[in-house]
Amino acid sequence: MYSRPEKIHENFLQKVESGALPERHSHTRLDNCGLSFFELVDLFESQVMSRHLDLRSRELKNQGLCYYTIGSSGHEGNVALGKAFRYTDMAFLHYRSGAFFIQRAKQLGGSTPLYDLLLSFVASSEDPIAGGRHKVFGSRSLFIPPQTSTIASHLPKAVGAALSISRARDLKISSEIPADSLIYCSFGDASANHASAAVAINSASWISYQNIPMPLVFVCEDNGVGISVPTPNDWIASNYSSKPGIMYFQCDGLNLCDTYSKAMKAINYARNRRKPVFLHVKTVRLMGHAGSDVESVYRNPRDIESTEFQDPLLHSAALLRENGMSSRQILEIYYSMGKRVADVAEKVCECPKLESPDRVRASLTLSRFRKKAPALPEKSEFESLLGRESTKLGQPLHMAKLLSFALHESLMRYPNTLVFGEDVAQKGGVYHVTDGLYKRFGVRRVFNSLLDETTILGTAIGLAHNGFVPIPEIQFLAYVHNAEDQIRGEAATLQFFSNGQYSNPMVIRVAGLAYQKGFGGHFHNDNSLAVFRDIPGLVIACPSNGADAVKMFRRCLRLAHEEGRVVVFIEPIALYMTRDLHKEGDKLWSHIYPELGSEIEISDFYVEGGGKDLAIITYGNGYFYSRQAQQVLKVEHGIEARVMDLRWLAPLDMARVSASVADCEKILIVEECRKTGSLSEGIVAGLVEHLNPLPKTRVLAADDCFIPLGVAAAAGLPKKQEVLNAALDICGRSR
């Protein structure tokens, strides 16, 4: 079939020259929409720039110079939204937002959107937002955090960002977003069906329904097709026009006057009432989904041609003709912009690219806006906060209580922290770790979420965009799987794709791991951390005891606050209430609350004992059981063992770990997670890499099986006896 980009280009020239322009779909005219003629011309110029960028990207791709060709053609009507919204209204953008980005940039003097976008198209290291790591629409100065090829995963964080605005004002937090701002969030009609979109729109409705401020505008750019799947007629309007607490507006995205007029109504409603809006923009898609998409395979050629006649640039040309501009003047704008884009494209193709892996990785944990942690609270102030509970600070306590005190200390020290999740407020959490926080810090800092992990994590990301350091709680480890992409695809990627200009500081508390007799199945009693371990830049902490938990949590929170890092803090449920190690009443697993300010550094492990017969490498529950086995090995079998508690599962310094066990005759890795996909695989590989010769090494891991209920719950898990048996076997001793 004839090249559609070339055909669309020729159609525009022919239709404008002949005057055979499409009829308007709406009655909104220039004289009643709030735009002047000169503003209309300016919008058209931005539309044309966006179109020529799309056309040029296809040509550059054919030359092997451009690598991403999902364009904005057909969606250029969002240029009116780029003008209507303030540039300080933080925008989470759909990938067809070229015209919006260009027009918003015009609000800020000195911006160079054409040059910046072309640098992004050719993946140049001089690209000012991603540094050549992806073609994204993003700019810190324009309040546009970068998005990659997102479907709808950015909608939950838009809800969190909207929630953060009034929360920052009420708590007097130094925020990134002005107090009277809106949050702008755009997506396509097909994306509206995604679980993340349904969750976000529902949570915005749920929050607004309770009269909690939610100054958010969802913008659905409805072109009627998702790649090759048509959207049913009136599906978006029928589905979203009557959501509780959300005002619905619809506009003709092909008519700049109507789009601008309806956008201003939506903006005024959302800004004045601090309520969410669903703005439904009817538009078309041109040139297929992307450069590799051949529309003729799944669409009738006549349908393609009739859609191309509804080109928004032709509709804008009709508006300009209607208001006195000649066809020649319109074509002059088009031709001159095409030459300008071509000239700039020629220059950016010569700009440097990322080449070395070190440079690619450099932004994974980079933060260009580091903060200093607040001063430590005085001991007397902390004791006063705890009230009667302060008498327990000098007593040996279990992990759950020590973590509860640590959360009190954290909220006291860091005014920008919030604790939220399922049942964390009045109830104090299902394991009472958040007990007392709600009473002492109030509903604005400690609050219950919907029963939805995507909402919890998305809210955290949005809050982190506005000066907060969220401490969201995931009630059980397996619940993460409902929302894992909020960590993998959103939170952990932001520093990478913004070259350190944006970050998502947070400490995600996850109650998890196994050994609970009262819970069966895969949903509560889960023992796999594989979902976290392959996420670049993520910090994973897993304390085995209360004293370490407090000191590690302090370090995690400071890391998030100062460097913008995303941290997952795994709390072993089975060790929450554990007090004793070897026998009832010994209280060897109970600890006094650590001195204020004491921390454990990232990747710093602990080794108990100096025996050379055997080294046991483990963490969490595995460390607890290994310590029990260590005593029996020594007393009953004369085997001197050392037991290493890794504490930090990522980053894992295998060079130091290997050096610490290099003088041992045997190595046993005790892994409480399922063997396949477990940390033990990486540990073995690291030992092989760093130790020559490699001591005899064995892995004792949990079975590759889900966990049953009751007495059988621990059947496939390493415990004291299993550790003891494995240690004796590897040491060549009889049991």
Tokens at residue 442, please?
């109030």
CA distance 89 to 182: 5
pLDDT at 1: 43
Element (H, E) at 281: strand 277-282
Average pLDDT of the chain is: 95
Query: What domains are defined for the chain?
Result: 4-18+36-348 (3.40.50.970), 379-515+527-575 (3.40.50.970), 606-730 (3.40.50.920)
Residues 6+ apart with CB under 8 A from 64: none
Tokens at residue 403, please?
């973590």
Query: For residue 142, is pLDDT > 50?
Result: yes
Residue 553 CA: distances (Å) to CA of 227, 385, 479, 639: 45, 19, 21, 34
Provide the pairing of β-strand 216-222 with 277-282.
parallel
Query: For residue 713, is pLDDT > 60?
Result: yes
CA distance 593 to 455: 33
pLDDT at 523: 78
Residue type present at position 350: E
pLDDT at 193: 95
Phi and psi at residue 554, in whole multiples of 5°? -60, -45
Find out whether 448 and 421 touch, Cβ atoms under 8 Å. yes
3-state helix, strand, coil in the chain (%, to 5): 45, 15, 40
Q: Which of 118, 13, 99 lies closest to 60 in space, CA to CA?
A: 118
Query: For residue 151, is pLDDT > 90?
Result: no
pLDDT at 735: 67
Using one digit for the tens of pLDDT, what is the confidence trace for 654-705? 999 999 999 999 999 999 999 999 999 999 999 999 999 999 999 999 999 9
Tokens at residue 661, please?
């066990």
Find out whether 50 and 102 touch, Cβ atoms under 8 Å. yes
The answer to which of 141-145, 522-526, 629-633 has the lowest mean pLDDT is 522-526
- Mean pLDDT value across residues 231-248: 96
Letter string b/e over residues 183-212, b meaning 16 or more CB atoms within 10 A of that residue's CB: bbbbbbbbbbbbebbebbbbbbbbbbeeee
Q: How confident is the model at residue 578 (pLDDT cuts 50, 70, 90)?
A: very high
Find out whether 554 and 507 touch, Cβ atoms under 8 Å. no
CA distance 420 to 245: 22
CA distance 118 to 347: 10
Q: How confident is the model at residue 123 (pLDDT cuts 50, 70, 90)?
A: very high
Per cent of the chain over pLDDT 90 is 91
Query: For residue 470, is pLDDT > 90?
Result: yes
Find out whether 416 and 445 touch, Cβ atoms under 8 Å. no
Using one digit for the tens of pLDDT, what is the confidence trace for 402-456? 999 999 999 999 999 999 999 999 999 999 999 999 999 999 999 999 999 999 9
CA distance 334 to 309: 17
Quick count: other Cβ atoms within 10 Å of Cβ 665?
Answer: 13
Element (H, E) at 673: strand 666-674
Q: Is the peptide bond before 695 cis (omega within 30 degrees of 0)?
A: no
Query: For residue 521, is pLDDT > 90?
Result: no
Tokens at residue 344, please?
């700039």
User: Which tops the pLDDT comparison, 709 or 36?
Assistant: 36
DSSP letters for 457-513: HHHHHHHHTTT-EEEEEESSGGGGGGSHHIIIIIITTHHHHTTTS----EEEEEEE-
CA distance 696 to 678: 20
Using one digit for the tens of pLDDT, what is the confidence trace for 187-217? 999 999 999 999 999 999 999 999 999 999 9
pLDDT at 3: 83
Q: Which of 64, 142, 134 lies closest to 100 in space, CA to CA?
A: 142
Q: Which of 671, 559, 579, 686 lies closest to 622 in space, CA to CA?
A: 671
The answer to which of 226-235, 511-520, 569-578, 681-690 has the lowest mean pLDDT is 511-520
CA distance 493 to 536: 8
pLDDT at 261: 98
DSSP 112: -
Element (H, E) at 368: none
CB-facing half-sphere around the CA of 185: CA atoms within 13 A? 32
CA distance 311 to 255: 10
CA distance 392 to 383: 10
